[in-house]
Structure 1
């Protein structure tokens, strides 16, 4: 019985304001702003739909994208693979058969990692498609 009474009394003895205060992080507002301003880089590899062309999604997912992801190392935050299903406008052709996206921390590190491996990456295209990709590099704003 005594134990049950002690905990509520102990909690009541702690000032409410102390419970509601945020703990200092040790980081200045300027530091936090600088971190927030540093955005991720998004590399989108888009494969436009072309009549009569094919795309081997299984190979792309199991072999190609993991190979490129390995080249990127610790700079890679994540990658995604999308399979095109339709156009945003009814009865219009599919704009892209597939889109692969890499999210990286540094554009410079991405370019340094991909540059020496470019020929190997391009040579692997033939294993899953004959479509020339459109590549867009962008900065994530939000």
Structure 2
């Protein structure tokens, strides 16, 4: 099993529309990825352990069956996916694929 982790850094000039992301962007992504998605978890950063601002504003973990399938879907739909980002944020996401051990 694998996990796609998407992190949006918490920056002073950053904004993030969680409603748009949850209600519009994620359903589009789920439709594109189909049954490769096992589960999805969306989180809003609150604070660091020491009480300072959270280092990430938004965190998304998506468990997937195949990183190859994920990569091919993203390559085929990159314009559509990347073109939607300005609709919900001005932040640059950090994306990585993890193996769940």
When normalised by structure 2's length, the TM-score is: 0.94
Contact 2:46 2:53 in 1 (8 A): no
Which structure ranks higher in relative contact order (CA pairs < 8 Å, sequence separation ≥ 6)?
Answer: 2
Q: Which is richer in helix?
A: 1
- TM-superposition CA deviations, 1:40-90 (whole Å, max 9, x none): 110011000000211000000000011111111111111111111111222
**Moved segments of 4+, more than 2 Å:** none
Task: Return the alpha-carbon distance in structure 1 between the equivalents of residues 15 and 66 of structure 2.
Answer: 33
Corresponding residue for residue 88 of structure 1: 49
- In the alignment, which of 60, 65, 80 is matched to residue 120 of structure 1? 80
Task: Return the alpha-carbon distance in structure 2 between the equivalents of residues 79 and 66 of structure 1.
Answer: 11
C-alpha root-mean-square deviation of aligned residues, in Å?
Answer: 1.0
- In the alignment, which of 1, 4, 11 is matched to residue 50 of structure 1? 11
**CA drift at 1:94:** 1.6
Task: Return the alpha-carbon distance in structure 2 between the equivalents of residues 89 and 70 of structure 1.
Answer: 39
Corresponding residue for residue 101 of structure 1: 61
Q: How many residues align?
A: 101
Structure 2 unaligned regions, length at least 5: none
* Secondary structure, counterpart of 1:81 in structure 2: strand
Corresponding residue for residue 11 of structure 1: none
